[in-house]
A and B are shown apart, each in its own frame.
Chain A
Amino acid sequence: GAVVSQHPSRVICKSGTSVKIECRSLDFQATTMFWYRQFPKKSLMLMATSNEGSKATYEQGVEKDKFLINHASLTLSTLTVTSAHPEDSSFYICSARKAGATYEQYFGPGTRLTVT
Chain B
Amino acid sequence: KNQVEQSPQSLIILEGKNCTLQCNYTVSPFSNLRWYKQDTGRGPVSLTIMTFSENTKSNGRYTATLDADTKQSSLHITASQLSDSASYICVVSAEGGTGRRALTFGSGTRLQVQP
Asked, given contacts A44-B44, A107-B45, whether A59 binds B100 with beta carbons under 8 Å apart, the answer is yes
- Tell me whether B111 is interfacial, beta carbon within 8 Å: no
Can you name the residue of chain B whose Cβ is closest to the Cβ of A103? B93
- The interface on chain B, measured as residues whose beta carbon lies within 8 A of the other chain's beta carbons, has a size of 24
- Summarize B's interface: helix, strand, loop or mixed: loop
B100 contacts A91, C-beta separation under 8 Å: no
A residues less than 8 Å from B31 (CB atoms): 103
Contact indicator B43/A49 (Cβ below 8 Å) = no
B115 within 8 A of A: no
* Option from B43, B98, B106, B107 in Cβ contact (under 8 Å) with A110: B43
Q: Mark A73-96, 1 if CB is under 8 A from B, else 0.
A: 000000000000000000101010
Contacts of B44 in A (CB 8 A): 44, 93, 107
Give Cα A36 to B44, complex, Å: 11
B32 engages A103 (CB within 8 Å): yes
Residue of B nearest to A110 (CB): B43
Q: Is A7 on the interface with B (CB-CB < 8 A)?
A: no
B6 and chain A: residue at smallest CB distance: A43
- Chain B residue nearest to A45 (CB atoms) is B105
Tell which of A44, A49, A91, A104 touches B105, judged by Cβ atoms closer than 8 Å.
A44
Task: List B contacts of A107 (CB < 8 A).
Answer: 36, 43-45
The 6 closest A-B pairs by CB, nearest first: A49-B100, A107-B43, A43-B105, A109-B43, A43-B107, A110-B43
The contact sample of 28 A-B pairs, CB cut-off 8 A, is: A4-B43, A6-B43, A42-B107, A43-B107, A44-B89, A46-B100, A46-B103, A49-B99, A49-B100, A57-B100, A59-B100, A93-B43, A93-B44, A95-B43, A103-B31, A103-B32, A103-B93, A103-B97, A105-B103, A107-B36, A107-B43, A107-B44, A108-B43, A109-B42, A109-B43, A110-B41, A110-B42, A110-B43
State the A residues within 8 Å of B (CB): 4, 6, 34, 41-44, 46, 48-49, 57, 59, 91, 93, 95, 102-110, 112
